[in-house]
């Protein structure tokens, strides 16, 4: 298969591209390499896959020196002409769309970035799939779509109509847009709601990275909502295994679906939504304890109130993932944190 994988200078995208390459698929990676966080980390991920950042020019594919079936192109998702040209030139079989403007709090101060990348950019992906015969579009949604929902564990069968950040609203919009294209044009689409992904090469704006860096530098950490939060932390390898399994399972319409009692997770059209989470929420203070144990040093904690756009808990119901794909994430958070800390110390050369 020939895949377009977007977001391959990013965290999940870089791992997904490498997993597909390892099993023999051909991959074109795409990323705009913006400066939302340190681009040197993005360059590091590209180098790991054999892409020389110094050779990257906008719109021009660069071949990997490590994987003969991998090339990378720098391009903005909202570049309508560029995206259309890429689809036309490359003849993809499948699209794994993991690129987006990420971050809940950043969406409060920089809303236009989310409309450009997550709405306009997603529309360009859908049009590429419609016009160039893509067999299956798998795209990243987010646990943030659950918003004010307090029905735990979060189920894809529940309505998610009350997001509390623009980031979450754009992800919910992506699901609605995908359903429209599945209904109108018969394009198989599957949305994946990721739950707090962490691990080596993770994003610097995420809690694990922030806490690890601060503790190693003997600086205090800000613990929001006075530590009274739970997160369904999911290790990146578990996420990628789920993504690849979903790519291989093209959805068909559910003929038992009824508009009189509509199930939001599926449709009479070839459309599906899954949660990918560890199904085991962890108290924030226990998560910090795992980091302290991995580092061998206690954190100085600065307790703070809840931040705008945050929710007190996340917890993934993964029953459909188990039923349809026979898969459930399972890396224990202490083991995952240990692997991250080991990577961090090695990458940043910290004792």
Catalytic residues: 167
User: The dihedral of CA 257, 261, 263, 269: what is its sign?
Assistant: positive
Give yes or no for a contact between 329 and 277, defined as CB atoms under 8 angstroms apart.
yes
What's the order of all strands across the beta sheet hosting 94-97? Answer: 62-63, 70-74, 26-31, 2-6, 94-97, 136-142, 189-194, 271-276
The string of DSSP letters for 135-159 reads SEEEEEEEGGGGTT---SSB-TTS-
**In this structure, which long-range contacts are made by residues 215-219, counting pairs with CB atoms below 8 Å and at least 24 apart in sequence?**
215/291, 215/292, 215/295, 215/297, 215/299, 216/295, 216/297, 216/344, 216/345, 216/350, 219/300
Phi, psi values for residue 94, rounded to 5°: -135, 155
């Amino acid at each position: 298969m020939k895949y377009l994988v977007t977001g391959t200078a990013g965290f999940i995208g870089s791992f997904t591209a490498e997993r597909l390459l390892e099993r023999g698929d051909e991959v074109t990676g795409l990323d705009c390499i913006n400066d939302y966080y340190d681009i040197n980390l993005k360059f590091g991920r590209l180098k790991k896959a054999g892409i020389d950042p110094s050779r990257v020019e906008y719109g021009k594919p660069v071949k990997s020196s490590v994987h003969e079936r991998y090339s990378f192109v720098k391009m903005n998702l909202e570049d309508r002409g560029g995206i259309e040209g890429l689809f036309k030139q490359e003849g993809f079989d499948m699209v794994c769309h993991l690129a987006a403007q990420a971050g809940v709090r950043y969406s409060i101060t920089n809303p236009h970035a989310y409309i450009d990348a997550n709405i306009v950019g997603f529309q360009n992906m859908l049009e590429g799939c419609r016009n160039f015969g893509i067999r299956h579009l798998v795209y990243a949604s987010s646990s943030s779509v659950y918003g004010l929902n307090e029905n735990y564990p979060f189920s894809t069968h529940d309505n998610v109509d009350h997001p509390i950040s623009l980031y979450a609203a754009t992800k919910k919009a992506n699901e609605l847009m995908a359903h429209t294209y599945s209904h109108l044009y018969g394009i198989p689409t599957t949305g994946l709601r990721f739950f707090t992904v962490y691990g080596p090469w993770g994003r610097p704006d995420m809690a694990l990275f922030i806490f690890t860096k601060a503790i190693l530098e003997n600086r205090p950490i800000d613990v929001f909502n006075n530590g009274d939060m739970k997160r369904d932390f999911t290790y990146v390898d578990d996420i990628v295994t789920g993504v690849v399994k979903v790519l291989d399972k093209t959805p068909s319409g559910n003929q038992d679906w009824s508009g009189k009692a509509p199930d939001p997770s599926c449709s009479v059209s070839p459309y599906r939504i899954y949660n990918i989470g560890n199904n085991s929420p962890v108290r924030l203070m226990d998560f910090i304890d795992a980091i302290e144990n991995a580092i061998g040093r206690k954190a100085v904690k600065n307790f703070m109130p809840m931040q705008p756009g945050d929710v007190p808990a996340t917890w993934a119901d993964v029953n459909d993932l188990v039923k349809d794909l026979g898969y459930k994430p399972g890396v224990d958070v202490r083991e995952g944190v240990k692997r991250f800390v080991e990577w961090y110390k090695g990458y940043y050369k910290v004792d």
